[in-house]
Amino acid sequence: MLAKDLISDVIPSLRTSDSGQKALYWMDIFRISHLPIVNNEDFLGLISDKDIYDANMADEPIGNHNLSLFSPFVTENQHIYEVIELASRLTLSVIPVLDYNNRYKGVVTNTDLIHHFADYAALKEPGAIIVLDMSIHDYSMSQIAQIVESNDAKILSMYISSHTATTRMEVTLKINRNDLTSIIQTFTRYNYTIHSTFMDHDDMDSLYENRYDMFMKYLSI
């Protein structure tokens, strides 16, 4: 999914002749804290509600003030992951999108970004989640996939996050099944550390009951 597929069709752009009050009104209506200032198709930068309050410009045209405008943007063919990275790193409520000739095309809002990402990453698909904790040296995507698929399941999405200043990592798997019991047992048999799981309570109860029965059998040996 590319930036051009994420552009909002409702968020307006400001002109330098628009007042700070108009900008604040639109920000309040659309529940955002930034708006782009555009001259024809030229993107001049983002203005925030804080900029307006700090410059005390609510009743004046934006162009009356010499603003040091923030000008982050993505190009229309950048991937959704790159859009998310920019929005997160700069704490933006909207992300301007330009074409390769630097012409303004629109903005992506955080709300739309979340909805699109949920569709893209299969987050809305039914299924359960398992989080593995491991050393980066033990990571094998092929083995993880083999374990899941050997239990007649599929990985819908997978995310990797590293622990700062360590060699540990977490692998989060979205599986196309609600019952992870057999998958958890297989990961355990292969000496994987399971950090957490998220599935239906009935399935969790079944898993814990199964583990209890195994433990009691062990004690009776």
pLDDT tens across 34-91, in order? 999 999 899 999 999 998 888 887 788 888 877 767 889 999 999 988 998 899 899 9
Say which amino acid occupies 101: N
CATH topology of domain 3-119: CBS-domain (3.10.580)
* 128-219 is classed CATH 3.20.20.140: no
Percent of the chain residues topping a pLDDT of 90: 57
HSE at residue 6, side-chain half, CA atoms within 13 A, is 33
Q: Report the C-alpha gap between 105 and 120 in whole angstroms.
A: 22
Residue extent(s) of CATH 3.10.580.10 domains in the chain:
3-119
Mapped onto helix, strand or coil, the DSSP state of residue 49 is helix
Residue extent(s) of CATH 3.30.70.260 domains in the chain:
128-219
Q: What's the whole-model pTM score?
A: 0.69
HSE at residue 147, side-chain half, CA atoms within 13 A, is 21
Per-residue model confidence as pLDDT tens digits over 33-47: 999 999 989 999 999
Q: Report the C-alpha gap between 213 and 16 in whole angstroms.
A: 71
Q: Is 165 left (phi over 0), alpha (psi -120 to 50) or beta?
A: left
